[in-house]
Structure 1
Amino acid sequence: MLMMNNKIKAKEVQLTGLEGEDLGIMPTADALAMAQSHKADLVCTSLFSSPPPCKLVLRGMAKQEASQQKREERHRAGDVKVKEIRLTPYIEEHDYDTKKAQMQKLLQSGNAVQPVIRLQGKKEGEPARKLLEQLVADLAQAGRKETGIQISGKQVTVKLLPL
């Protein structure tokens, strides 16, 4: 909740200027007049102290900062979705490029990617590992490895996180 300008009901405020300088305690009306003269908003930073600390912020920037902070919190709080992409050890070059582009797009949109190569026989383990190493190297500008390349039973996998 962002308290600013005329919504601040306290009689006095502890004011901080545009450059972060302390302007002391003053009546709210004077602080609002100062904000108007500087073409700024008076923003209350905490409602739990008396007098409430307020600061001058360039007009429009307070709402922009609040929405950006909200977006960042949502981004941090939301768990990263892991998208699984299936490949084969002997994939054609065009198909490889398509899957790589798909994974790059997912990584850039903030999702984690887990390429999985299903194995048919014992001899496919090494080509599958090399394919994933190449894929990790090709996607280095969009994502980084969270886990090493894991060969387990019938599949080879690695988890990539967005940068």
Structure 2
Amino acid sequence: MGRKRGPTKREQLTPPPSIATIIFRCPNRKFRSSVAINNRYPPREPRDYTRVNQAIRASMVRVIDSDGSQIGVRPVSEALGIARQRGLDLVEIAASANPPVCKILAYSKYKYDQEKKEREARKKQKAGLLKELRFRPNIGVHDLDVKVRQIEEFIDAHDKVRITVVFRGREMQHRDLGFKLLMSLQEKLAAKAVVEQAPMPDRNRLVMTLIPKPH
């Protein structure tokens, strides 16, 4: 029996299968770089990921019925069977609990309700902002109607609106036009808004603040 052949110098330098070798070629030199590819760990799930049916990993789960009553701790296979018999889904609603809590329900409706709650929460976060619109005392009828619609949109979104009438040059001699304009806006928006700050002179401006009308 002959001697067992050891690895050649080329084989010693060859990276293992889990290492990808990238070769960069330059005019005068050749660079070799080995980059490890780690496939041992699956990609992380998003924080808001909800496990449903076969995606639930726990072997035992605490099951809540669709009407909110407690079914108890059951093997996940049994809980899946109960949900399947009713034409519903098994949804993991408390993954960090021990054992995880799952509820039998229609996942499509559950997802819709969750998204609706998130939209309403975002809307509340944005609500209460201060918006500002500027007017000239001699604004035209069409432009005034456009501005009124903008104010109505802000009020509908529960925002405050600061209305500023800006005077230039000789317009300062006709501040009464600015007051008349603000009074006209109050009347046009009376169904949706109330005055928080009455018209107040401020150098070359008149300022009034409107807020949504309390229901």
Q: Which TM-score band applies after superposition, normalised by the shorter structure?
A: 0.7 to 0.9
1:121 maps to what in 2?
Answer: 172
Deviations 1:127-162 (A, max 9, x none): 5345334424433455565x4235123222234456
Whole-angstrom distance in 2 between the partners of 1:24 and 1:104: 52
Whole-angstrom distance in 1 between the partners of 2:180 and 2:116: 41
Change (3 A) 1:31 1:111: same
Whole-angstrom distance in 1 between the partners of 2:161 and 2:140: 20
Which of the residues 129, 132, 138 maps onto 2:188? 138
Code of the residue aligned with 1:114 in structure 2: it is R
Root-mean-square deviation over aligned CA pairs: 3.1
1:52 maps to what in 2?
Answer: 100
Relative contact order higher in (CA < 8 Å, ≥ 6 apart): 1
Whole-angstrom distance in 1 between the partners of 2:174 and 2:208: 19
Whole-angstrom distance in 1 between the partners of 2:126 and 2:149: 24
2:73 alignment partner, SS class: strand
Deviation at 1:44, TM superposition (A): 1.4
Q: Does the Cα contact within 8 Å between 1:114 and 1:160 map onto a contact in 2?
A: yes
Change (3 A) 1:98 1:54: same
Code of the residue aligned with 2:185 in structure 1: it is L
Tell me the number of residue pairs that the alignment of Structure 1 and Structure 2 aligns. Answer: 161
Deviation at 1:105, TM superposition (A): 3.9
Listed as ranges, the gaps of 5+ residues in structure 2 are: 1-47
| Of 35-44 and 130-139, the range deviating more from structure 2 | 130-139
2:62 maps to what in 1?
Answer: 14
Whole-angstrom distance in 2 between the partners of 1:19 and 1:40: 12
Whole-angstrom distance in 1 between the partners of 2:178 and 2:165: 7
1:73 maps to what in 2?
Answer: 121
1:103 maps to what in 2?
Answer: 151
Deviations 1:82-141 (A, max 9, x none): 5432223454544433321233245446765432112443661x6534533442443345
Which of the residues 58, 71, 80 maps onto 1:32? 80
1:23 alignment partner, SS class: strand
Deviations 1:57-93 (A, max 9, x none): 2241122123223323333444766543222345454
Q: Does the Cα contact within 8 Å between 1:132 and 1:149 map onto a contact in 2?
A: no
2:32 maps to what in 1?
Answer: none
Q: Does the Cα contact within 8 Å between 1:14 and 1:54 map onto a contact in 2?
A: yes
Whole-angstrom distance in 2 between the partners of 1:111 and 1:4: 39
Whole-angstrom distance in 1 between the partners of 2:190 and 2:91: 42
Instruction: Please report the TM-score for the alignment, with normalisation by the length of structure 1.
Output: 0.74
1:148 aligns with 2:197: yes
Whole-angstrom distance in 2 between the partners of 1:110 and 1:34: 45
Q: Does the Cα contact within 8 Å between 2:127 and 2:159 map onto a contact in 1?
A: no
Q: Which has the higher helix share?
A: 1
Same amino acid, percent of matched pairs: 25
Whole-angstrom distance in 1 between the partners of 2:210 and 2:104: 43
Q: Does the Cα contact within 8 Å between 2:127 and 2:158 map onto a contact in 1?
A: no
Q: Does the Cα contact within 8 Å between 2:137 and 2:165 map onto a contact in 1?
A: yes
